[in-house]
Copies of this chain bind each other. A is one copy, B any other.
Amino acid sequence: MKLTAVIMAGGKGERFWPKSRTSCPKQFLSLTSDGETMIQKTVRRLGALVAPEDVYIVTNAAYLGLIHEQLPDVPAENVIAEPCARNTAPCIGLAAGIIQKKYGDAVMFVLPSDHLIRSEDMYTDTLRRAAEAAEAGENLVTLGITPTYPETGYGYIKYVRGSGRSGVYDVERFVEKPDLPTAKGYLKSGGYLWNSGMFIWKATTILSNIRQHMPLLYEGLLPIAAAYGTADFSDVLNEHFPDLPAESIDFGIMEKASHIHTIPGNFGWDDVGSWLALQRINETDSEGNMLSGDVVSVDSKNCTICAGSRMIAVLGLEDVVIVDTPDAVLVCDKNSTQDIKKVLAELRAQGRVELL
């Protein structure tokens, strides 16, 4: 069966301010030394399974230019511009409707646009096995990540041990972000996986599940999908999409549907969720500093420093994140990286939209 990919690229990436801006969020930035942007990596590493003409990108209208620039091989008609954000269920449902209309049916790899994969071969192999499981029936497959530490920032998947048919396990339930003791218990038990937000299913399978569990969404999607490929599509999209129920695919479908399966992945996944991730995904010096660009570091350790056009000298610092851009510099304690939204709120309150 045809293999397709749906890449969700509408995120704002606020936790990567000041590099990530409303005009150019995280997925369009390169956060690694190779210069490749996050979304370019996402499309390239699908290469062995999905050709660019079968890659669909759902994003915000503001980013059409960036996508065309960074992914010239993805056809313009495969890029769907949401007039507004409606969470993941409408985004995925619309893509499923379009794929069903175009191919009759096809396997969909539903993927975030801003994650990192260390072992791309193992990733490809895992996706291939997931596609086989999705094709084999009315299965909804989610990729779980074997936890390597008690992360409290992710949701977890409890799977049924011993249910594995060629590495595909039944999902018992999804659990919300745990506190640290709970996360440690999950890690110890071995029965839990990180929820990576990567899904694999047939377009017809997810659509029948939406019809059953989210009928209002299903009804709303029909006219939009029907208009795909016609001159009216963007008018119909802009007219009806805002009325779709804003719901996540996890809450709207995965936590309600049956035939939910997971494949534990060990391909070095990282969601690159905050500036702290740069120390995990890039080289660090002997003092544990992640230094990028023109930096002079003296008596400093475990700092993450991204220099821009000017030299940054650090002296006697520990656990500090510094990010320099042409019009704004962030200096942040590592324990506060999740609070960058407070800075953005202050900038909004000051009406300084040029810095957001």
Contacts and interface: CB of A to CB of B under 8 A. Distances in A.
Interface stretch (A93-101, A122-130, A280-288, A339-347): A339-347
A99 to B, nearest CB: 42
A328 B310 contact: yes
Contact of A324 (B326, B329, B333, B352): B329
B296 A313 contact: no
A277 interface: no
A314 B327 contact: no
A317 B330 CA distance: 11
A24 interface: no
Interface SS, A side? mixed
Given A315-B340, A339-B316, A342-B315, A310 B329 contact: yes
A313 B318 CA distance: 18
A84 interface: no
A226 interface: no
A322 interface: yes
B299 A313 contact: no
Q: How large is the interface on A (under 10, 10 to 19, 20 to 34, 35 or more residues)?
A: 35 or more
A333 B316 contact: yes
A200 interface: no
A18 interface: yes
Contact of A296 (B311, B316, B327, B343): B343
Nearest to A317: B333
Interface string A334-356: 01110110110011001010010
A320 interface: yes
Interface of A: 18, 296, 298-299, 310-318, 320, 322, 324-333, 335-337, 339-340, 342-343, 346-347, 350, 352, 355
